[in-house]
Structure 1
Amino acid sequence: MLVPDTVVELGNTEVTEETSGLPVLARRQHIQRRLYRLFEHNCNTFTNEVAQFLTGRKIPSYITDLPSEVLSTPFGQILRPILDSIHISPPGGNIINGRHS
């Protein structure tokens, strides 16, 4: 089992367990259909949106800004064209191109 290095408390929610599932699943479906890009639109995007829905607070910027920090390095600039050319096949069989459509 993986243990996180850090846990960030974002607060409490007024959303009940019974009602929280549908909006979260709807957001997840929406995000999965959108263009997944490792550095611009990734699991942290989903996590941030869910956190805002549940608590009204975003996840820390040191997490959401990390990809742009990586891309601003010389290595990130070399890596960018390679990542843009990768095709990702999410569950459900839809092929998502690494480029904006």
Structure 2
Amino acid sequence: MNNSEQLFDESDIVFWGRLDSELVNTKDREQLAKFTIIKSYKGEISGQIAIVNELSNSCSRVFEMPMSAYYVYAKNDDEDGNYRISGRATFVPLEYSIEHEWEPQL
């Protein structure tokens, strides 16, 4: 099993989404990112979703540039019902994101 297969298997949801907004909470070292789902690959999700991005180590990255697209691999946090990631997101180049017709799955 390669790393991407393992990451997919370990995640509760996997989707490609447009970043609508983001807010970094430096005190708690996390970022709240809101997405519109473009395509869901795992999990029954559609419309909009909020993701808590843990900024807990040097490998963590923040979501940037609202209106750009990201592939997101997240786990459900049973404690508070949110989906969380710990630095696991890849982004689609902005040029491609701009050219894509944004038609979320409903």
TM-score range, shorter chain: under 0.3
The two structures have a TM-score, normalised by structure 2, of 0.27
**Where is the strand percentage greater, Structure 1 or Structure 2?**
2
The two structures have a TM-score, normalised by structure 1, of 0.28
Larger radius of gyration: 1
